[in-house]
Amino acid sequence: MTTSLTIQTPDDWHLHFRDGEMLKETVPATARCFKRAIAMPNLVPPVTTTQMALAYKQRILDAVPQGVEFEPLVTLFLTNQTTAQEIKDAKAAGIVASKLYPAGATTNSDAAVKGIKALYPVFEAMQQVGMLLLIHGEVTEAHIDIFDREKAFIDTYLRDIVNDFPNLKIVFEHITTKDAVDFVLESSDNVAATITPQHLLLNRNDLLVGGIRPHNYCLPVLKRNTHQQALRAVVASGSKKFFLGTDSAPHEKHKKENACGCAGCYSAWSAIELYAQVFEDLNAIDKLEGFASHYGPDFYGMPRNSGTITLNKQSWEVPSNIKLPTFDDTFDRTLDKSSERSLDSSRDEIVPFFAGETLQWKLA
């Protein structure tokens, strides 16, 4: 029986740090196990220019705990006003990717793209300079059922984008359906996908049965069990076209538990442990390192990390809540209940993903 697992240091290829004081929580939680992370640009206002992206990167770096080595990879938020020149400037400044949100698809996406084909000159510029296109792949038309929006996006837009820009590297973000799995598998090596812990661990029963569970609500929404099983099967297969992207997305408890709860699961506190749980349950723990540490940097054309992390077989309980820190807090965190008491109780709380649940792997 395996009691310890050491893997090359992993990266998170899709997450939401948010901004402001929230960075004092989200950045240390992520940097505890990940060396790099792709930071989503759907802030208020969205990160639409190179200058804004570089300023956001600095704010993230300012929140990294002293002595911790961590690299945020910031991205541009594509709008109908994005120009080819902006793409070239961003690439020259070291920005590796831009994000396509259909307008209204998720949190803070109202400023996003209306009429995707209007962005074809931008996609052409990205293809030319070697910038990756990250896609939230859902349509947002009101007449399309929310559970069908990912498939509809594939059929309506994504096939054309892939065919029209064969040299553009595309990451189909946080996929949720067998349709998406099949599309990525049948596409060229320039198409890959990220998969979240919540979509591997849960299906829509976990959102709706026994009452609505707001802390399991995310976008894209959880799908039926058959789609969940397709995601689990493809990560267990070891396919290099699928890699780790948590979509960790914090919201304060009172914003999740209300009449119009926010979408997002905050998994940073237990992300690598959650994935380890999935891979062990699938009898594929030997595939975790590729998924978490190899396939993402390989697809992005970046070097794999040089260090390692170790996970031990140890039962522990995900905290039931996390108090948001103030700017004066320190960030020497441990994943146990004592950490809750060390934080400023006057601040709002976040309920982390899998709160109160017992996991069997713990980061050393």
What's the pLDDT at 117?
87
Flag whether 344 is in a domain.
no
Number of H helices, E strands in the chain: 15, 13
Active site residues: 247
Dihedrals phi, psi of 98, to nearest 5 degrees: -125, 155
The number of folded domains in the chain is 1
Instruction: Give dist(CA 152, CA 133) in Å, integer.
Output: 19
In this prediction the pTM is 0.92
Flag whether 281 is in a domain.
yes
What's the pLDDT at 107?
59
Q: Is the confidence at residue 337, as pLDDT, over 90?
A: no
Flag whether 150 is in a domain.
yes
Q: Answer yes or no: is 160 a known binding residue.
A: no
Q: Is the confidence at residue 341, as pLDDT, over 80?
A: no
pLDDT digits (tens, 9 = 90+) for 235-258: 999 999 999 999 999 999 999 998
Flag whether 317 is in a domain.
no
Q: Answer yes or no: is 158 a known binding residue.
A: no
Q: What is the DSSP letter of 349?
A: E
Q: Answer yes or no: is 327 a known binding residue.
A: no
Flag whether 115 is in a domain.
yes
Q: Answer yes or no: is 80 a known binding residue.
A: no
Q: Residue 263 is part of a domain; what is its CATH number?
A: 3.20.20.140
Range of the domain at 143: 7-309
pLDDT averaged over every residue in the chain: 92
pLDDT digits (tens, 9 = 90+) for 9-50: 999 999 999 999 999 999 999 999 999 999 999 999 999 999
Q: Answer yes or no: is 227 a known binding residue.
A: no
Flag whether 327 is in a domain.
no
Detail the DSSP E strand segments found in the chain. Answer: 4-8, 12-15, 36-39, 71-77, 97-100, 132-135, 170-172, 191-195, 242-244, 308-317, 322-323, 349-350, 358-363
Flag whether 220 is in a domain.
yes
What's the pLDDT at 364?
95
Flag whether 356 is in a domain.
no
